[in-house]
Amino acid sequence: MLVVRLALKSLRSRLLTTMLTILSIALSVTLLVGIEHVRAGVRESFAGTIRGVDLIVGARGGTLQVLLSSVFGIGSPAGSVKLSTMKRWAAHPAVKWVAPYSLGDSHRGFRVVGTTPTFFERYRFRNNGEITFASGRVAQSDTEVVVGSDVAEQLKYTVGAPVVVTHGLQDIGTSNHEAHPFVVVGVLARTFTPIDRSVYVTLEGIEAMHDGEEFAPAVAAAPPTMSGVTPPAMPGAAPPVMPGAAPPVMPGAEPPPVAALVPAPAVNEPEHDHGDDQISSFFVGTKNRFEALMLQREMNTDLVEPLTAVIPGVALGELWQNIGSAEVGLRVVAIFAVAIGLTGMLVSLYSSLEARRREMAIFRAIGAGPRTIISLLVLESSLLAFLGCVLGVAMVYGGLALAQGPIEQRFGLHLAIRPLGSTEYLYLAVVLGAGTLIGFVPAWKAYRTSLVDGLSPRA
Amino acid sequence: MSVTSASAPAVELSQLRFAYRTGREVLSIDHLVIARGETVFLHGPSGSGKTTLLGLLAGVLQASSGNIRVLGQDFSTMSIGARDAFRARHLGYVFQMFNLIPYLSVRDNILLPVRLDAGRRARLKGVSLNVAAQQVASQLDIAALLDAPIGELSVGQQQRVAAARALIGSPEVVIADEPTSALDTDRREQFLQLLFASCASAGATLLFVSHDHTLMPLFSRVVSLGDINRAAAC
């Protein structure tokens, strides 16, 4: 077809301009489709933080508080839950399993979580990812600890490494539970969830940790190198406290590490204790997922202890509603980028038309009608838009293929290479449609101009 | 649409009036007839309406009143599209300069009219496109340049390519708007000789606009637009 050949030749004759126009459209498309991929990736990563758990149960408080403190390790729980309460609910006919989650201690800035092997067995993330061990095994005795992949990497822990746990979140060296040294028995494989940044011990481990603090004689068993730093035992000096109160370290009240030898600090921390039958929250798996809702209601109205039971998927959705407004921002930026790309295309088409007035006059003189001239220019612009879309999509997938690994390593964001979704197709259609429509502007003007100018290209 | 009377004159104007804006007439010609096969030298001072007249004859502009008949076809009764098609089939047009599509080869430039319009192509009478291009190019002495890129041609060569394009498919009327003004004197005559010969062999009527009065004697007829245009500004 003549017009197609003409359009191709015309575009090829202005190769640099053509390439730059295609590139600018491609970059906009890359941004638009790329942002859509990132958005979906973030949402999936987020929604996939916790799976396999039907209910998270914490002390009476906000839904998000329970979710954030137990799943994301953000903030502190509203209070604590009695271990006996968990055991009571474990016996409920609808409950298949329970796993305790006891927060409050930290190890060099990473949270220490007391739990049971059930947690590792039942917890799932992303599409059914199970927690697996890169090396070692589950913590079984009260001196054993399992570390997440980030913890192992940053602190260079391997199976067999000794670990000292700090009480309170900040690692300022005080009140180290050095009376009760732990040893790493397992390193978890990377999950790209907050699990990677956690240290897991047994419930007994947490208890023993504090027993050691409270009963100095137990320290005798500790290695000689450690015993020197061990704070003197102050039995009874540590009344019960909610584990949730742990993160804020009493500022100023705490003397430097050397002073740990002095008995005073322990007295200054009257609230420093984990009641040994208290946990932060517990995870529940139901026998039948449809019973989760009913179970949630029952738990929320528990008469013995005020509880908040949260369905993770629902709470995550709620949370996403709140923080998801950022994705609208992303989208707006992307739309602006496309607008700029299309404007650039219009400018380049339009300015090339100015140089092509003679060309249009020649076509008119030869007898080309408006249809020929319009189809020539519209074909050119839609071809540019099409090639821009193709290149842009290719760049997205090429970029994903190259950057997927590094992004996952760096940001823990798994960007799946998946086919284009309907939103992306809509974007592409808009770009293509706008590209085609834009072609009509110079085409219409060209036809009008060459009419007004007569056949003379001089005007 | 392109039914033309073989006996009708090439061009026939009567009571032609044209204004770009109402009330400001630029062209007012009571009567002008150009017979078939004539070579007409049309001259006139700037502003006498030469370019406007050519636009009207090519069917790009529409007369405000009066009649324009080209090959017996009355333009005033034809739509813009019909006039486009008529032009594609029956007219050849050569500009003063910059006649060629820069991204096409010489061959493709010459073949553009026959590719664009099936009717014009039919006038090749079965001769293949390449042969037709070859024939018209050799008439104008540019056969060796058929595959050259436009950028490598001299202005004189470009004008001959433009003439070849105007002449391919043997149109009845060839309009040339100062095609020699960019050429030096020697080349003007050479170009004109080639143009005359080609028009003669195609049986085309030539309407040639120029300022250059030295060329006048070469034409069969001279028309001064200043004399016949009663709306002329000067």
State the SS3 of A172-204.
CCCCECCCCCEEEEEEECCCCCHHHHEEEEEHH
Whether B6 maps to a domain, the answer reads no
Residue B40: name the closest of B234, B182, B225 by CA. Answer: B225
Mean of pLDDT values over B129-153: 88
Number of folded domains in chain B? 1
Chain A partners of B89 at a C-beta cutoff of 8 Å?
Answer: 367
Given this model, what pLDDT does residue B101 score? 87
Q: Count CA atoms within 13 Å of residue A139 on its CB side.
A: 28
The encoded tokens of residue A42 equal 């973030």
Chain A partners of B93 at a C-beta cutoff of 8 Å?
Answer: 365-366, 455
Q: Which of A362, A447, A458 to mutate to test the interface with B (most CBs of B within 10 A)?
A: A362
| Burial category of A1 from C-beta neighbours within 10 Å (exposed 0-12, middle 13-18, buried 19 and up) | exposed
Q: Which of A359, A369, A451 sits opposite B101 (nearest CB)?
A: A359
Helices (H) and strands (E) in chain A, counts: 15, 15
Chain A partners of B52 at a C-beta cutoff of 8 Å?
Answer: 454
Query: Residue A53 in contact with residue A282, Cβ under 8 Å?
Result: no
DSSP E strands: which ranges in B88-197?
A: 91-94, 173-177
Count CB pairs under 8 A between chains A and B. Answer: 82
Query: Residue B69 in contact with residue B11, Cβ under 8 Å?
Result: yes
Residues 6+ apart with CB under 8 A from B160: B140, B141, B142, B191, B194
With residue B131 as reference, give the H or E element that holds it. Answer: helix B129-139
pLDDT tier, A450 (very low <50, low <70, confident <90, very high otherwise) = low
Whether B89 maps to a domain, the answer reads yes
Share of chain B above pLDDT 90, in %: 10
Question: Which residues is A81 bridged to in the sheet?
Answer: A279
Give the 3-state secondary structure of residue A417. Answer: coil
Contact at CB, B51 and A362, closer than 8 angstroms = no
Range with lowest mean pLDDT among A230-244, A352-366, B107-121: A230-244
CA distance B157 to chain A (A): 17
Mean of pLDDT values over B108-129: 87
The chain-wide mean pLDDT, for chain A, equals 76
Share of chain A above pLDDT 70, in %: 77
Contact at CB, A366 and B96, closer than 8 angstroms = no
Q: Which of B84, B104, B111, B129 to mutate to test the interface with A (most CBs of A within 10 A)?
A: B84
- Confirm or reject contact between B89 and chain A (CB < 8 A): yes
pLDDT tier, A232 (very low <50, low <70, confident <90, very high otherwise) = very low
Residue A419: name the closest of A83, A114, A40, A159 by CA. Answer: A40
Given this model, what pLDDT does residue A18 score? 87
Given this model, what pLDDT does residue A391 score? 94
Chain B partners of A369 at a C-beta cutoff of 8 Å?
Answer: 80-81, 84-85
Find the CATH number of the domain harbouring B82: 3.40.50.300
Contact at CB, A364 and B113, closer than 8 angstroms = no
How far apart CA B69 and CA B12 sit, in angstroms, is: 5
Mean of pLDDT values over A355-370: 80
Q: How do residues B162-178 score in pLDDT, each as one tens digit?
A: 989 988 888 889 998 88
Given this model, what pLDDT does residue A395 score? 93
Residues 6+ apart with CB under 8 A from A229: A176, A178, A257, A260, A261
Containing domain of residue B112, as a range?
A: 11-228
Given this model, what pLDDT does residue A178 score? 52
Residue A132: name the closest of A145, A149, A154 by CA. Answer: A149
How far apart CA A205 and CA A214 sit, in angstroms, is: 14
Query: Residue A326 in contact with residue A35, Cβ under 8 Å?
Result: no
Given this model, what pLDDT does residue A166 score? 58
In the predicted structure, residue A202 carries a pLDDT above the cut 50? yes
Q: How do residues A64-103 score in pLDDT, each as one tens digit?
A: 888 888 888 888 888 888 888 888 888 888 889 999 988 8
Q: What is the DSSP string of A113-171?
A: EEE-HHHHHH-EETTTEEP-EEEE----STTEEEE-HHHHHHHT--TT-EE-PEEBSS-
Give the 3-state secondary structure of residue B229. Answer: strand
Contact at CB, A367 and B54, closer than 8 angstroms = no
Residue A187: name the closest of A128, A125, A144, A129 by CA. Answer: A144
The encoded tokens of residue B175 equal 């309009």
Give the 3-state secondary structure of residue A112. Answer: strand
Q: Which of B95, B112, B115 sits opposite A457 (nearest CB)?
A: B95
In the predicted structure, residue B151 carries a pLDDT above the cut 90? no
With residue B113 as reference, give the H or E element that holds it. Answer: helix B106-116
With residue A105 as reference, give the H or E element that holds it. Answer: strand A95-107
Given this model, what pLDDT does residue A258 score? 38
Q: How do residues B177-204 score in pLDDT, each as one tens digit?
A: 888 887 888 888 888 888 888 888 888 8
Query: Residue A79 in contact with residue A271, Cβ under 8 Å?
Result: no
How far apart CA A165 and CA A176 sit, in angstroms, is: 6
CA distance B170 to chain A (A): 13
Question: Which residues is A202 bridged to in the sheet?
Answer: A115
CA distance B61 to chain A (A): 6
| Burial category of B154 from C-beta neighbours within 10 Å (exposed 0-12, middle 13-18, buried 19 and up) | exposed
Q: Which residue of A has its CA nearest to B104?
A: A9
Whether B80 maps to a domain, the answer reads yes
Q: Which of A13, A365, A456 sits opposite B51 (nearest CB)?
A: A456
Mean of pLDDT values over A255-272: 37
Contact at CB, A455 and B60, closer than 8 angstroms = yes
In the predicted structure, residue A225 carries a pLDDT above the cut 60? no
Contact at CB, A365 and B112, closer than 8 angstroms = no
Whether B67 maps to a domain, the answer reads yes
In the predicted structure, residue A9 carries a pLDDT above the cut 80? yes
Contact at CB, A362 and B96, closer than 8 angstroms = no
Given this model, what pLDDT does residue A326 score? 76
Given this model, what pLDDT does residue A394 score? 94
Chain A partners of B60 at a C-beta cutoff of 8 Å?
Answer: 364, 450-451, 454-455
Range with lowest mean pLDDT among A346-350, A375-379, A414-418: A346-350
Q: Between the CA atoms of A37, A42, A45 and A46, what dihedral angle is there, to the nearest 10 degrees?
A: -150
Range with lowest mean pLDDT among A142-151, A252-261, B151-160: A252-261
Whether B18 maps to a domain, the answer reads yes
The encoded tokens of residue A161 equal 């490494």
- Which chain A residues in 419-458 lie under 8 Å from chain B, judged by CB atoms? 450-451, 454-458
Given this model, what pLDDT does residue A244 score? 42
Q: Which residue of B has its CA nearest to A9?
A: B103
Whether B3 maps to a domain, the answer reads no
Q: How far are the Cα atoms of A214, A227, A271, A294 from residue A237, in angstroms, in the given order? A: 8, 20, 9, 43
Query: Residue A66 in contact with residue A58, Cβ under 8 Å?
Result: yes
Whether B98 maps to a domain, the answer reads yes
Phi first, then psi, for residue A381 (nearest 5°) are -70, -40
- Confirm or reject contact between B177 and chain A (CB < 8 A): yes
Contact at CB, B89 and A367, closer than 8 angstroms = yes
Given this model, what pLDDT does residue A250 score? 42
Whether B172 maps to a domain, the answer reads yes
In the predicted structure, residue A230 carries a pLDDT above the cut 80? no
How far apart CA B111 and CA B136 sit, in angstroms, is: 10
- Which chain A residues in 7-66 lie under 8 Å from chain B, judged by CB atoms? 9-10, 12-14
pLDDT tier, B116 (very low <50, low <70, confident <90, very high otherwise) = confident
Q: Count CA atoms within 13 Å of residue A279 on its CB side.
A: 28
Contact at CB, B61 and A454, closer than 8 angstroms = yes
Q: How far are the Cα atoms of A34, A330, A389, A424, B210 from residue A393, in angstroms, in the given order? A: 9, 18, 6, 10, 56
Q: What is the DSSP string of A28-52?
A: HHHHHHHHHHHHHHHHHHHHTTSBS
Q: How far are the Cα atoms of A104, A173, A346, A450 from residue A426, in angstroms, in the given order? A: 48, 56, 21, 36
In the predicted structure, residue A124 carries a pLDDT above the cut 70? yes
Mean of pLDDT values over A183-209: 84
The encoded tokens of residue A438 equal 């834009």
Give the 3-state secondary structure of residue B57. Answer: helix
What is the ipTM for the molecules in this complex? 0.86
